Structures are given as structure tokens and as C-alpha cells.
Amino acid sequence: MADEAEPLVAALGAEPAAPAADAAAPEIFYQIESKDNKIFRFSELAIQQADTLNIMVQTMGYDAKGIIPLENIDGDTLNLVFKWCEHHAGEPIPEDDEDVPQNVVIPPWDEELMEIDNKQLFNLICAANYLNVKQLLNVACKKVANMVTGRTPEEMRIIFGIPSDEEDEAATAAAKAAREDPQEGPSNA
């Protein structure tokens, strides 16, 4: 297996450093399989953005010939994650510094990538969290924060498909009725 490159790490707010390029070294690509059996090629430089994958490659001995299975991320979501990682390949990875408040700005390219429906955005956030893609998680969560800024609770319920208390109580009552009398099913009252 080729020597693994150390991921670039930077403090939040630091200027991005240019990655050291070794013209003699061939670029290595890994194959990642989604839960719906889609195969993606992921460059070694981009894989450094996904800390979970980077650690898997380093500790489990994956190489360019093997396939790394990810059984909890669908292909469409994995495609978004990989596009983001490839676009940001070689950029420094922010260190967690809880003492410094984060002022996250969503770059235009990231904003365009995240022009997706709420379900896909939720899946993207879950995938970024699972794969530990810190900067993607930051910008995706910022997008959600921007979606709810200045909204009333009722507007937020509509945006995120959250039932009101009355709808929730009605669904609970219908489920209880169905459990008590499975022959009749939910009542139409």
C-alpha cells in the first residue's frame, strides 16, 4: 500500500494553505460503494476531507484495488459528499476549537451544491456527520440555520414537515385504536 498522506489541518479562520504537490507521485483513487450498490471513485487527496474514510484507509489496509462499503449512505447522497470533497480536495481541515465561535459563510459553489430538497439536505448532513466531513457539516448546518432564521414555529413545522400537536395527537389516537381493535383499523371519525 502506498504511504498515506497526512490530512491538512488548520485552525478555524486560518488562510488556506496550498497543498504540497509531488509531481512524481501518481494520483490514487479509492472505490467506495453506497448502500444501493453504486460505486464511486474518490481521490486520495479528497478522501482526507472525510476523516472516517481516511482512517478506514489507513487502519484497515484498503487500497485502490479494493472496494470500501458504506452500507448506511445512499448513492445520491454519497455523490453529493464526493462532489464536495473533490471540489475542496487539498484545502485545510478545520480543527475543532470550541472556544472560538464559528461564523460560517457558505461559499457560492457550496450553496449551489446544496440546492436540494429538505430530505436530501437531511441525508447530506447525516452523511457528513458519519463520514466526519467537518467543513461540509458546518456549511450544511448553516444552510438549515439560514432556512429557519426569522421564521415562526408554524412556518418551521411546514418547512420541515413536523406535525402540529393536534395532528400528532390524532395520529397517536388512530394508532392506539388500531392496536386495540386490529379488525376495524383506524376510525374515520
Distance between CA 113 and CA 107 in Å, rounded?
A: 10
User: Burial of 50 by CB count in 10 Å (0-12 exposed, 13-18 middle, 19+ buried)?
Assistant: buried
- Say how many residues make up the chain: 189
Choices 1.10.357.20, 3.30.710.10, 3.40.50.1820, 3.40.605.10: CATH for 26-95+102-178 = 3.30.710.10
User: Burial of 104 by CB count in 10 Å (0-12 exposed, 13-18 middle, 19+ buried)?
Assistant: middle
Strand 9-10 to 93-94 pairing: parallel
Question: For the chain, which residues make up each domain, given as ranges?
Answer: 26-95+102-178
The confidence score (pLDDT) of residue 12 equals 39
Q: Per residue in 107-137, pLDDT tens?
A: 999 999 999 998 999 999 999 999 999 899 9
Distance between CA 99 and CA 36 in Å, rounded?
A: 40
Q: Per residue in 9-46, pLDDT tens?
A: 333 344 444 444 445 556 788 889 999 999 998 888 88
The answer to whether residues 57 and 4 touch, using CB atoms and an 8 Å cutoff, is yes
Locus of grid cell 485545510: 92
